[in-house]
Chains A and B, each alone.
Chain A
């Protein structure tokens, strides 16, 4: 059965801290791994990763994929209160439709 597991389930940090969110997966015919940020509404896209070892970076956020060990990490440096959200990891498969399998998310709370 395909599954995506995120850890930790929740995390509370102080502004300025660096956090690492984890996503491991077991998905048939892996195609891509995506990270989303969800505040109180629609998930918004952060990164899509398809190749191992290549870091994607956007400002204070970065992510990398390890296709051998079947996991990805999302790093946030110098956290701000605006980073408080649920971070979702999703994995795309080549089988079936263009579906994405989602993890349950990591709830990050950044306190001043």
Chain B
């Protein structure tokens, strides 16, 4: 089975802190994604990566950056956390076109 693992289930951070969310997949998928999920808004794409060191902005990239130094790992970075970044963050990976995405278990981030 494909496994997508996010480093933390719950995180509480202070405003202004730099926050790292890590995601690792074990199926050699080229494509990896970071979404945030908020009530009434569904899943919104923050960034995606289609290869090592390649990244593209999604719909809501402001306040975030990403890093993909190895194929299996995709990191989401909040340079200076703010309270409006309190959310559920979901990482996903997929192998290519016309395939399903596999999700990690999510990280619920609270910024206080």
* A contact residues vs B (CB 8 Å cutoff): 4, 31-32, 34, 36, 41-45, 48, 50, 88, 90, 92, 94, 96-100, 102-105
Q: Report whether B98 and A97 are in contact in the complex, using a CB–CB cutoff of 8 Å.
A: no
Chain A to chain B contacts (Cβ below 8 Å), 8 pairs? A4-B42, A32-B98, A42-B104, A45-B101, A45-B102, A48-B99, A97-B48, A102-B35
For the complex of A and B, list the 8 residue pairs with the smallest distance between their C-beta atoms, beginning with the closest. Answer: A104-B42, A102-B43, A42-B103, A45-B100, A102-B42, A41-B105, A42-B105, A43-B103
Asked if B69 lies at the interface with its beta carbon under 8 angstroms from chain A, I say: no
> In the bound complex, how far is the Cα of B8 from the Cα of A31, in angstroms?
33
Q: Report whether B43 and A98 are in contact in the complex, using a CB–CB cutoff of 8 Å.
A: no
Q: Report whether A42 and B90 are in contact in the complex, using a CB–CB cutoff of 8 Å.
A: yes
Q: Which residues of B contact A99 (CB under 8 A)?
A: 33, 45, 48, 58
The one of B41, B90, B100, B104 that contacts A104, using a Cβ cutoff of 8 Å: B41
Q: Which residues of A contact B100 (CB under 8 A)?
A: 34, 45, 48
Q: Report whether A100 and B101 are in contact in the complex, using a CB–CB cutoff of 8 Å.
A: yes
Q: Which residues of B contact A90 (CB under 8 A)?
A: 43, 101
> In the bound complex, how far is the Cα of B90 from the Cα of A104, in angstroms?
15
Sort chain B's interface into a size bin. Answer: 20 to 34
A-B pair number, CB within 8 angstroms: 58
List 14 extra interface pairs beyond A50-B98, A88-B43, CB under 8 A.
A31-B97, A32-B98, A34-B101, A36-B103, A42-B105, A48-B98, A92-B98, A98-B96, A98-B97, A98-B99, A102-B42, A102-B43, A102-B44, A103-B42
Specify the chain A residue showing the minimal Cβ separation from B42.
A104
> In the bound complex, how far is the Cα of B31 from the Cα of A45, in angstroms?
17
> In the bound complex, how far is the Cα of B100 from the Cα of A36, in angstroms?
10
> In the bound complex, how far is the Cα of B35 from the Cα of A32, in angstroms?
19
> In the bound complex, how far is the Cα of B89 from the Cα of A41, in angstroms?
11
Asked if B64 lies at the interface with its beta carbon under 8 angstroms from chain A, I say: no
> In the bound complex, how far is the Cα of B41 from the Cα of A104, in angstroms?
6
Specify the chain A residue showing the minimal Cβ separation from B4.
A42
Q: Which residues of A contact B31 (CB under 8 A)?
A: 97-98
